[in-house]
Structure 1
C-alpha cells in the first residue's frame, strides 16, 4: 500500500497560498493539509465561495489532494487562542465554532477534500467533565449532520491538554454520540509519542478502523512540541510501515505549525526524510 504525503499550510504561513501549493507540488508531495485562516483561505471572507473555486482549480492543476484543517489560532477571536471552542460556557460562542466547522465542511466539499479535521478544545475552568462532554456532543451534532450530507468525514484529533486528549477519549466520544458514520479520527503520530500509553506503532494499529486523517512530526515523551524529523524520539520506519499496512488512503500531513520561518526548507527535508524512512527513491511514491 502507498502512503500519500502532504504538508500543512500552517507551517507555510510566510508564503502566499498559491506559492505554498506550487512549492509542495514541485517537491513531490501528494497533497496539502489546508488550514482555513486569514493568510490563506480565509473562512470569514465575504467572497469565500469565489476564493474556494480558485483554490480548487489550483489544486486540480497541480494534482494535489487536500484535507481541510481547522486549527487556526485566532480565526474567530483575535484575543483568544483557539477561542471560542466547542466547550465554551457561552452557547452563542460554541455556536460560532460550530458554524465555522460547518463552513469548513462546505469548503471541503467544494475542494473535493478527503476529510475535515477538528479538535475539542480545553475544558474551561470550573467546568465538570460531564458538562464538557455534553457541550462537545451538542456542538458537534450539526457538524456531523453537515458532514453526512456532504459525504465527507469529520476527523476529530486527540490533542494534549484538551478534553479529548487521547485515543481513549475519542472512543468515549464515539460512544456518547452513538458511533455516527461521519465521525472519524485524526491521528497525530507525535501526540502518540507524547502521551499515549501505547507506542506510536500500536496506536496506528489500534486507530486503523477510524483513521480519516493523519498528521506526522517528531516529538519527545511528555513534551507537546512539534519537532522536525530527527529532533525527537520517534523511530519512524516501523510507524510508516504500520500505517501503510492499515490501508489508510488519506493524506499523511507533516505538521510543523511553529516553523513557518523555515517552511520551504523543512518541506524539502521532511519529504526527503519520509522517503528514506520508507526506503523510497526521491520522486517516487512511498510504500
Structure 2
C-alpha cells in the first residue's frame, strides 16, 4: 500500500512543536497534521511569516509532509470553544473566523502543505438552518478565493453536531457554492462510524472524488469520542484497503485531540497498529 501516515499536533500539545515534529520523524511517520494554535504555530502572534519559514525548514529537514488544520478550541475566543464560527450571529465574529481560515490557507501554501482544513460550526441558538447556510456560504467565499489563488485545496470536514455534519451535508455545501474546484473534503473515519449510515469503508469509496485530507482514529456508533485504535468498533483493514484503492495521495492523520497526556506513547502505538494492518491485513 502507498498510504502516507501522519499524526495530529492537537494530540501532542504538551510538547514543543519542534520536539513534536522530531518525535514523529523518529517514529517513522510520513507527515503531520499541524493545528494552528497558541502552543505551536500561533496564527495570531507577531512574525507569522518568519515563524512559518522556520517550521517549513524543519519539516523539510525531517522529510515530513504536512496538512494545516484549524480545529484549535480557543484560538480566537478564550471563553467559547471553536468560537466565533462561520455561523456566528455577529458579523465581526464571522469575519474573524474567515480571516483565520484565509491565514491558514496562506500558511499551508508557505509550508508546502497538501491541504488546509476547516469546518462549519454549530448552528447558534435562535438561528434558523436557512440563515446558517447563507452565513456559511458567504463566510467561505473569501476562503475559497484564497485557496484558489494559493493552489491549496480547502478540505472541509463534516463534524457531528454541526451544520455540516455528514457527507450529505458536504454535498449540499458543494452544490450551494457551485462545486468549486478548490473545495474538497476532509473525511474523518471515526465520524463515519459515529453517524453515517454506510460502513466507513463504503464512505471512503463514496467520498473518493473529493478526498483531500483524511483523519483516522477509533470510534463507537453514536458516540462522538475519538479513541485509540482498538478501543472502538471500527474494522480497519477494509478502511485502509478502500483508501489505498482510491489512489488518495494526501496524509492519513491520527486524530486524538484529548490524549495529549499520553501523546508520545500513543503516537508510537498508533503507528504500530496502522503499519500492522497495512503490512499484514490485521491489527497489531
Q: TM-score range by the shorter chain?
A: over 0.9
Give the equivalent residue in structure 1 for 2:40.
40
Q: If the length of structure 1 is used for normalisation, what is the TM-score? A: 0.97
Give the equivalent residue in structure 2 for 1:230.
230
Question: 1:1-287 to 2 correspondence within 5 Å?
Answer: 1-279=1-279
- Matches of 1:241 and 1:270 in 2, distance apart? 17
Q: How many pairs align? A: 281
Give the equivalent residue in structure 2 for 1:285.
none
Classify the secondary structure of the residue corresponding to 1:279. helix
- Matches of 1:277 and 1:135 in 2, distance apart? 42
Shift in Å at residue 279 of structure 1? 1.6
- Matches of 2:144 and 2:197 in 1, distance apart? 29
> Against the structure 1 CA distance between its residues 197 and 18, is the aligned structure 2 distance closer, same or farther, given a 3 Å change threshold?
same
Classify the secondary structure of the residue corresponding to 2:33. strand
* Over 6 Å off, 4+ runs: none
Shift in Å at residue 229 of structure 1? 0.1
For structure 2, the 5+ residue unaligned runs are: none
Q: If the length of structure 2 is used for normalisation, what is the TM-score? A: 0.98
Spell out, residue by residue over 1:139-184, the C-alpha distance to the aligned partner (whole angstroms, 9 max, x if none): 0000000000000000000000000000000000001000000000
- Matches of 2:160 and 2:125 in 1, distance apart? 17
Shift in Å at residue 280 of structure 1? 5.8
- Matches of 2:182 and 2:45 in 1, distance apart? 27
Shift in Å at residue 75 of structure 1? 0.2
- Matches of 1:108 and 1:138 in 2, distance apart? 22
Classify the secondary structure of the residue corresponding to 2:77. coil
- Matches of 1:107 and 1:20 in 2, distance apart? 19
Shift in Å at residue 41 of structure 1? 0.2
Spell out, residue by residue over 1:231-281, the C-alpha distance to the aligned partner (whole angstroms, 9 max, x if none): 000000110000000000000000000000000000000000000111269
RMSD of aligned alpha carbons: 0.9
- Matches of 1:60 and 1:45 in 2, distance apart? 23
